[in-house]
Structure 1
Amino acid sequence: MRALVIEHDAITPAGTIGDRLVHHGFELTRLLVVPEERHQTPDVEVDFPAPSGFDLVVSMGAPWSVDAEEEIGTWIGGELALLREAHDSGVPVLGVCFGGQALAAALGGGVERAPRPEIGWVAVETREPRLVESGPWFQYHFDRWVTPPDAVEIARNDVGPQAFRIGRSMAVQFHPEVTVDIVRTWRKSGEKDIRSHGLDPDELVDRTRELAPAAERRAHAFVDAFLRHAGLR
C-alpha cells in the first residue's frame, strides 16, 4: 500500500505516525511543501500529485494558517483540491493539526482563530475512545476548524473541536506524531511563543520525555484505529 505524506515544512515530520504506517507495510511518498531555505517566504510553487496513485493521504502540521493565502501562496488551494479529490474518490485522508484544518476547509467547513492558543500536553473529551483516546495529546496551534456539515465530531475540549470523522477520512487537532526530538526542535523554533503563553520551554521538553512511552503507545493505537476505520487494516 502507498501513502502520500504531505509535510509542510522541514520541522514538522510525520514522526510516530509515519513510523507506524511503515510498520503496517505502507510505502511512504513524502512531499515537502516548503523547503527549509524558504521558511520565511513560504509562497512556493508546488505540483501536488493525483491522489489516485495512493491508498492513503496524510496531511501534517504547519506553522502557518490555512486561510493565510497572501503569506503562503496559492499552494494551499492546490492542497485543498487534492484533499477534496482524495476524499470524494474514496481515498481516505488523515489530517493532523494544520492538515485537519485543511481537510475541514476542503470539505465545506472552515478555519478560524481559536479563543486562545494551545501549547503543551492537553486532555480531550472523546465520544469514541476506540478511535481517539482522551490523551493527554500534544498541542501546538493558534487556529481551530469549523467542522464540515457532514462530519461527526468525536472529540473536543474547551478551546474547540479536537477530532472529526467523515466517511473514511479523519482529522485531529493535536499531534499524535510527536517525539522528544520533534518537541525539542519546536522548543527551539517557537521559544518566543512558548514563553509568551507562560510556559517554560525546557519544562515542555522534560514533560514530553516523561510522557514519551505512553504517548508512543497512544499514537500507535490511534494509527491502528484509524486504519481500521478507513478499511486499510
Structure 2
Amino acid sequence: MRINVLQHTPNEGPGVISEWAHQRGHEIYVYHPAQFNKLPMADETDMLVILGGPMSPNDDLPWIAKERQLIKELLTQDKPMFGACFGGQQLAMTLGATVKDAPVKEVGWAPVFLKSDVIPDLPKTSTVLHWHQQMFTIPNGAQLLYSSDGLKEQGFVYGHRVVGLQFHFEPLADNVREIVVNDGDYAAGSILNQTPAEIIAHPVPKENAATMFKILDWINE
C-alpha cells in the first residue's frame, strides 16, 4: 500500500505513523506542499495522512485549496484518511464544517476523553500533545470521537475511512523535542500553563503509539 503523507512544517513529521507503516509492510511517500507546492494524485494514493502546521485552512493559499480538492477526490473513492491538527481541520472543512479560533489555546500535555466506541478498544482517557489555537466543528454525518476539558471538539470519525484529530497521538520523544526546540515560544498563553522545558520533560505515554496503530488499522479494514 502506498501511504502519501502531507507534511506542512519541518518540525511536525509522521512520527509513529512511519513505524506503523513499516510494520505493516507499506511504503510511505512524504510530500511538502507548503514548501514545494507538490501534491500526490488521488489515483496514486492508497491512504492519505495530513499532518499539522502553523497555517490555517482559512488562509488564502493555492496549495491549501488544492489539498482539499485531493481530500474530496479521495472521499469519493472511499480511501482511508487520517488528519492531525491542521490536517484534521482540512478534513473537517472539506466535509463542510468550519474552522475558527478556539475559545482557549491548548499547548502542552493534557488528557482527552473518548466519546464514541465506534473504533474498538481505544482507551477511555489518553494524555496527548496539544499544539493549537484553532478548532474545527464536527462535520454533518460525523461522530464526535474525543473531547478535552478545554474543548469539546477534539476529534471526529466520518464513516469507516476518515479520522480527524485536533491533537497529536503520533509524536515520539524525538519528535516532541523537535517541535519544542523550534516552536516552544508558542506555548505562551496556553491554558495548560506548561513551559517548553516541562513539555519536553513529560514522557510520551507508551499507549499513544498503540492507540495510533488501532486507529490506522481500523480505517484500513
TM above 0.5: yes
**Alpha-carbon deviations, 1:125-182, whole Å to 9, x = none?**
2123536432101110010001111111121123131111112111111111112222
Matched, 1:202 2:163: no
Match of 2:134 among 128, 143, 151: 143
Matched, 1:224 2:214: yes
Matched, 1:177 2:167: no
Structure 2 residues not aligned, in runs of 5+: none
**Alpha-carbon deviations, 1:104-124, whole Å to 9, x = none?**
001111201011111111111
Q: Match of 1:206, as an amino acid?
A: A
Matched, 1:161 2:153: yes
CA contact (8 A) 2:93 2:99 kept: yes
State the shift of 1:219 in Å.
Answer: 2.0
Structure 1 residues not aligned, in runs of 5+: 36-44
The 5-angstrom pairing of residues 57-206 of structure 1 reads 57-69=48-60, 73-128=61-116, 130=120, 132-133=122-123, 134-157=125-148, 158-167=150-159, 168-197=161-190, 198-206=193-201
TM-score, L = length of structure 2? 0.89
CA contact (8 A) 1:4 1:30 kept: yes
RCO higher in 1 or 2 (8 Å CA, sep ≥ 6)? 2
Give 3-state SS (helix, strand or coil) of 2:3's partner: strand
CA contact (8 A) 1:108 1:149 kept: yes
State the shift of 1:93 in Å.
Answer: 0.8
**Alpha-carbon deviations, 1:51-86, whole Å to 9, x = none?**
2222210101111111122xxx21100001111111
CA contact (8 A) 1:3 1:27 kept: yes
Between the aligned partners of 1:127 and 1:93, the Cα distance in structure 2 is: 20
Between the aligned partners of 2:121 and 2:71, the Cα distance in structure 1 is: 21
State the shift of 1:22 in Å.
Answer: 1.5
CA contact (8 A) 1:132 1:222 kept: no
Sort the Cα spacing of 1:204 and 1:47 in 2 relative to 1 into closer, same or farther, 3 A.
closer
Sort the Cα spacing of 1:117 and 1:193 in 2 relative to 1 into closer, same or farther, 3 A.
same
What is the CA RMSD across the aligned residues, in angstroms? 1.7
Between the aligned partners of 2:189 and 2:147, the Cα distance in structure 1 is: 24
CA contact (8 A) 2:170 2:208 kept: no
Sort the Cα spacing of 1:127 and 1:196 in 2 relative to 1 into closer, same or farther, 3 A.
closer
Between the aligned partners of 2:133 and 2:169, the Cα distance in structure 1 is: 17
Query: What percent of counterpart residues are identical?
Result: 25
Give 3-state SS (helix, strand or coil) of 2:130's partner: strand
Sort the Cα spacing of 1:151 and 1:79 in 2 relative to 1 into closer, same or farther, 3 A.
same
Between the aligned partners of 1:225 and 1:102, the Cα distance in structure 2 is: 18
Matched, 1:56 2:59: no
Give the aligned length.
Answer: 214
Matched, 1:11 2:11: yes
Give 3-state SS (helix, strand or coil) of 1:124's partner: strand
